[in-house]
A = this chain, B = another copy of it.
Amino acid sequence: MNTLVTLKPLTERLLEIQHLKSAADVLSWDQEIYMPPLGGEARADQLATLQTLAHAKLVSSEMQDVLGRWINPETGGLMTTSGDLWDEASRALLRETWRDFSRASKLPSDFVTRLSRECALAQQIWIEARKKSTFSEFLPHLQKLLALKREETGYLGFTDSPYDALLDYYEPGASVAMLRPLFATLKARLVSLLERVMASSVKIDDAVVYQSYDTSRQLEFSRLILTAMGYDFQRGRLDLSAHPFTTSFHPTDVRVTTRVYEHEFPVCLFSCIHEGGHGLYDQGLDPERYGTPLGEPLSLGIHESQSRLWENCVGRSRAFWRCFYPMLRQVFSDRLSEINMDQFYAAINRIKPSLIRVEADELTYNLHIMLRFEIEQDLIEERVHAKDLPAIWNEKMKGYLGIVPERDADGVLQDVHWSMGAFGYFPTYTIGNLYSIQFYDQASMEIPGLEGEIEAGRLSVLTRWLNQKIHRWGRMFTTDHLVQRVTGKPLSPEPFLSYLEEKYGELYQL
């Protein structure tokens, strides 16, 4: 039987590539958090150098030769002539490496350099443009990035939509054809639920969470929650950034960021729980398999399922606050002494169409995604011009959520993704939402007394379950296979919709 030991000539090469990619990730993290304002040009060159080298090493003839020992380059399948038997891990490692290799091989080296450089530059511009709410400053960079991404789809190839070629990078197997009906189902039921909620006689007062909360105590409390979740600060950190994110350089160095507003208490707290969910996934990958696909997160949808599971199923649940509300009340006794647990629970679960995606409630969140999904397709398929985006954005906001931002900073400029060239990324958020409920439902069935454990603050039972079922496997299984394996069912919007209808049916007495 061939095992991972057989593949050492391959995994050694992959490890070197991973070190380069991790170094680039450190530079990107630093760029977002600590780099001085004028350092952006040089940083873009440094990043482009690292990414071009990593690409060159992945598509090198040496790599091709090594892969050619075991994989038939015509079919991408394992060589049958050798008659060798392979264990499951080795088969998965070869399958996924071949996927990465063949995808990367389609991209010319100079394209990788140009794309990397432009992404790093555009991100710097975006930060400034967002601060000043000047879309026009960002526009030329957005146009360059769109041209580059369209060029990329040409290299990668596609059957139906060029957008599929981009989607595939973030969510292998996803496609416009598969997402459209999924989003249509969601939209119908979500809009209907939203209408009923808005028409309900129950009016939730959430003014309490928009009072003044000392920012350093907010951060302290968030750190406490992260620790309770099992996020390991010996192998991680919490920093502030314009847009909360998680990055990993190795399972021993996984960093989350948040933002904190004095008058918007939920922002810091829930972004910490959310990023903490991502962080647990990255800290939970097998360090022995670092550098290989088996040591990498499976897809962005699966990644997002972890963050949303913690943020929503846990962080917005009654059970969680039965444990943590008394502590919160102690930390902010000046604010919360008059508010009971039920009032607090209602306040953090209030449904209200709002402008900022990452601060949206569970129900309207996916409407934000649909809007972006539509715009991205139109941009990539050249049905709309980037210069018209602010108007398009605002019109779609009106259609989906009935509100329009006053400033582009709260509209089309709010997300970092496009400045990173990450078109095709947003749909993975909705996919992640669906998975999160499927996984949580399964955990509730398999972990005896899960709700009681959460009420007692023993969140680590859930962390362990997620690690055993999902984190530690990396890219061993495809997403379809993993979801089947964990839940016995394929991806479905039904559990998510039922969850929302039940939770908000109760809260709003529908």
Contacts and interface: CB of A to CB of B under 8 A. Distances in A.
Q: How many copies does the complex hold?
A: 2
A494 to B, nearest CB: 40
A49 B20 contact: yes
Given A23-B27, A27-B26, A30-B30, A41 B237 contact: no
Given A26-B26, A26-B27, A34-B237, A250 B49 contact: no
A39 interface: yes
Given A36-B235, A38-B235, A38-B252, 4 more contacts: A22-B46, A23-B24, A34-B34, A43-B249
Contacts of A24: 23
Give the top 10 A-B pairs by smallest Cβ distance, nearest first. A39-B253, A42-B250, A19-B49, A38-B252, A19-B46, A38-B235, A38-B234, A39-B252, A23-B46, A37-B234
8 contacts: A20-B49, A22-B42, A23-B23, A23-B27, A26-B26, A34-B239, A36-B253, A43-B249
B36 A237 contact: yes
Contacts of A39: 235, 249-250, 252-253
Interface of A: 15-16, 19-20, 22-24, 26-27, 30, 34-39, 41-43, 45-46, 48-50, 53, 232-237, 239, 249-250, 252-253, 255, 290
Contacts of A239: 34
A7 to B, nearest CB: 19
A491 B24 CA distance: 42
B20 A252 contact: no
A253 B45 contact: no
A43 B39 CA distance: 23
A235 B235 CA distance: 30
A46 B364 CA distance: 42
A237 to B, nearest CB: 6
In this complex, the member of A15, A53, A239 whose beta carbon has the largest number of chain B beta carbons within 10 angstroms is: A53
Nearest to A57: B53
Contacts of A16: 49
